[in-house]
Amino acid sequence: MSAGSALIGVGVGPGDPELLTLRAARVIRDADVVLAPSSALDAVGRAESIVRQACPGVRIERLAFDMGDAAASIDAAAATVVAGLDAGRRLAFVTLGDPNVYSTFSSVAARVRELRPDARIETVPGIMAFQELASRSGTVVLQNAERLALVTALDGPDVLDAALTDPTQAVVVYKGGRHLPEMAKRLAAAGRLDGAVMGELLGLPGERVLPVAEAAEGPAAYLATVIVPPAG
């Protein structure tokens, strides 16, 4: 590896290209190669779409991520990264949201670290979906000494119950789109349905931002984000 080689996980926010930070835009422009995860090599992923708009003209290389075989996808991505590092390149790996919070980047970086223990690996923070949802919906997530629980509903809506026991705690639920009707029921039972909001495709075509009570009546995307503010 040359002295200048590096892998930099760059958070590009949830969708609106304007939510890139100045640092993210600079790191993307200065990179030798921009790597963007995609569900298939012939599909434009969300992160790639954001970079195309925010940094026109930047050359992007796709990394295919097959959710059905995550381990193999991570290995393949790490192999691409290692080849780039060995060639002395500065690689920007763009990722939705923040690279240190629920990001595939962490898994790829961990694998690269196994293969090249001396690799220089850095990250650039990015705006998370719940922050943009708070902004779009006019929701104050936390004030003064309240607490926040950030959870995923990957394993179902049960995560909500524990998080709802403390009424002074705000709750953010990621990846709960499939469980919205059940989540709405539990929020109503806990007296927390009022003020709860749901957002999907934030900053992208088809964006929806609406009360959970209303969103629960129809289907929502798997990646939907929900904010439950502290009890008033």
Judged by the rule CB under 8 A, the positions of this chain that interact with a second copy are 11, 13, 16-23, 25-26, 54, 98-103, 106-107, 109-110, 121-127, 131-132, 134-135, 138-145, 147-152, 154-155, 159
Q: Which of 73, 123 has the CB closer to a second copy?
A: 123
Helix (H, G, I), strand (E, B), or coil: what is residue 40?
Answer: coil
What are the φ/ψ torsions at residue 214 (nearest 5 degrees)? -85, -40
Sign of the Cα pseudo-torsion (153, 126, 91, 51, in order):
positive
Q: Are 199 and 97 in contact (CB under 8 A)?
A: no
In the complex, minimum distance from the CB of residue 213 to a second copy, in angstroms, rounded to a whole number: 21
**What is the rounded CA–CA span in Å between residue 55 and residue 102?**
24
In the complex, minimum distance from the CB of residue 42 to a second copy, in angstroms, rounded to a whole number: 27
Q: Which of 129, 220 has the CB closer to a second copy?
A: 129
Name the nearest CA neighbour of 54 among 92, 19, 10, 11.
19
The dihedral region occupied by 203, where left means phi > 0, alpha psi between -120 and 50, and beta the remainder, is left
In the complex, minimum distance from the CB of residue 160 to a second copy, in angstroms, rounded to a whole number: 12
Q: Which of 39, 106 has the CB closer to a second copy?
A: 106
Residue 99 has which token pair? 């690279």
In the complex, minimum distance from the CB of residue 102 to a second copy, in angstroms, rounded to a whole number: 5
Q: Which of 13, 37 has the CB closer to a second copy?
A: 13
Tokens 């003020």, located at residue? 195
What are the φ/ψ torsions at residue 148 (nearest 5 degrees)? -125, 135
Tokens 């909500």, located at residue? 160
What are the φ/ψ torsions at residue 174 (nearest 5 degrees)? -100, 155
